[in-house]
Amino acid sequence: MPSTAALQLTPQGRLRHFLTTEGLPRDLMIQILDSAAQFLGDTPRDLKKQPLLKGKQVVNLFFENSTRTRTTFEIAAKALSADVVNLDISTSATAKGESLLDTLKNLEAMGADLFVVRHNQSGAPHFIAQHCTPDLAIVNAGDGLHAHPTQAMLDMFTIRQHKGDISQLKVAIIGDIRHSRVVRSQIHALHGLGCQDIRLIGPGTLLPRQGLAGTLHDDLREGIDGADVVICLRLQKERMASALLPSEAEFHRNYGMTLDRLAWAAPDAIVMHPGPINRGVEIDGALADSEHSVILDQVTNGIAVRMAVLCQVMGVEVGV
């Protein structure tokens, strides 16, 4: 079967779906970032609305709850004048006998142009893209442990905005690397944009054994030494229940980012977090609120980047 990277491109190399940042050509990533920049206004938190998707129907198809991600997609689609329908389909509904494919066929009949899909199973958006009608575009809004490509692209946008050329940067990512779809997408995007120095930091239970670009570090100081970008990940409470960590407190002692520890990174390092943050666990409140933190920029940029992605998969050019 085609890989996810191949499935999302047309034979001409245009983005048909947006499923993963893995294998995404550099020029397509740059196009997304440049288009997103067009949507940002003169002041921070300001977005330029454009009727580029007028008459198009965007369906937010969320099999897993996520108010934040769904809302940013909704704002992005509305800023482009698309019609938006939100469907929260609990996975238990499909467990009651209707297969994902049956659900999909029913929704296709509603005449949507684009599905934004969030699902707890890795590969579910790939599966949907494989089986949907050819004129329907799929955007992955997070699938299992596999990918969260729009989050990764908004992170790339934010890094570029603050630090410039990504290929010259040292990027450290701290936390539950092994079980994070965000990290997988970030690593592929960083790699695709030429970043040579990616450090993945966490205790052995939260690091992958192999398979991802980047060096593995179980020591925080060693990992963030001289880093230009420090990305903290949200620590899920389930990790304690499944014997991967003893406690949040111990995680914070060993891997929690604080203003003091940021001194180990480069002097002008930025700190990022995909949100929502657990203050006092993966990041101290003082650091999250400091000038080093670009966490709120990530949120604003997220809308602009999602606007760019929606336009790309619908084949709409963003004017300069």
Q: How far apart are CA 263 and CA 256, in angstroms?
A: 13
For residue 51, the minimal CB distance to other proteins (Å) is: 35
Does 17 help bind other proteins (rule: CB under 8 A)?
no
**Is the separation of the CB atoms in 275 and 293 below 8 Å?**
no
Question: Is it true that the peptide bond before 246 is cis, omega within 30 degrees of 0?
Answer: no
Q: How far apart are CA 23 and CA 16, in angstroms?
A: 14
For residue 173, the minimal CB distance to other proteins (Å) is: 15
Does 143 help bind other proteins (rule: CB under 8 A)?
yes
For residue 9, the minimal CB distance to other proteins (Å) is: 14
Does 96 help bind other proteins (rule: CB under 8 A)?
no
| C-alpha neighbours within 13 Å on the C-beta side of residue 73 | 31
Task: Give the binding range for other proteins (CB under 8 A) out of 138-146, 217-225, 228-236, 299-307.
Answer: 138-146
Helix (H, G, I), strand (E, B) or coil at 314: coil
Q: Where are the alpha helices (DSSP H) in 164-199?
A: 181-192
Compose the 206-225 pattern: x for residues touching other proteins by CB under 8 A, - for all others.
--xxxxx-------------
Beta-strand pair 197-201/270-272: unpaired
Compose the 165-194 pattern: x for residues touching other proteins by CB under 8 A, - for all others.
----------------x--x----------
Q: Which two tokens stand for residue 189?
A: 């995007």
For residue 256, the minimal CB distance to other proteins (Å) is: 26
Nearer to other proteins, 160 or 178 (CB): 178
For residue 139, the minimal CB distance to other proteins (Å) is: 17
For residue 88, the minimal CB distance to other proteins (Å) is: 18
Does 121 help bind other proteins (rule: CB under 8 A)?
yes
Size, binding site for other proteins by CB under 8 A? 28
Going by C-alpha positions, the residue among 150, 149, 154, 210 that lies closest to residue 177 is 210
Choosing from 15, 112, 124, 137, the residue that interacts with other proteins (CB under 8 A) is: 124
For residue 313, the minimal CB distance to other proteins (Å) is: 19
Helix (H, G, I), strand (E, B) or coil at 71: helix
Instruction: Tally Cβ neighbours within 10 Å of residue 25.
Output: 13
Does 101 help bind other proteins (rule: CB under 8 A)?
yes
Nearer to other proteins, 37 or 100 (CB): 100
Does 18 help bind other proteins (rule: CB under 8 A)?
no
Question: Rg (Cα) of the chain, in Å, rounded?
Answer: 19
Q: How far apart are CA 77 and CA 74, in angstroms?
A: 5
Does 4 help bind other proteins (rule: CB under 8 A)?
yes
Q: How many residues does the chain have?
A: 320
**Helices (H) then strands (E): counts for the chain:** 14, 9
Is the CA virtual torsion 195, 201, 204, 208 positive or negative?
Answer: negative
Does 2 help bind other proteins (rule: CB under 8 A)?
yes
Task: Give the binding range for other proteins (CB under 8 A) out of 1-9, 149-157, 161-169, 295-303.
Answer: 1-9
Q: Which two tokens stand for residue 150?
A: 């729009």
Residues that bind other proteins (CB under 8 A): 1-4, 7, 22, 99-101, 119, 121-124, 126-127, 143-147, 181, 184, 208-212
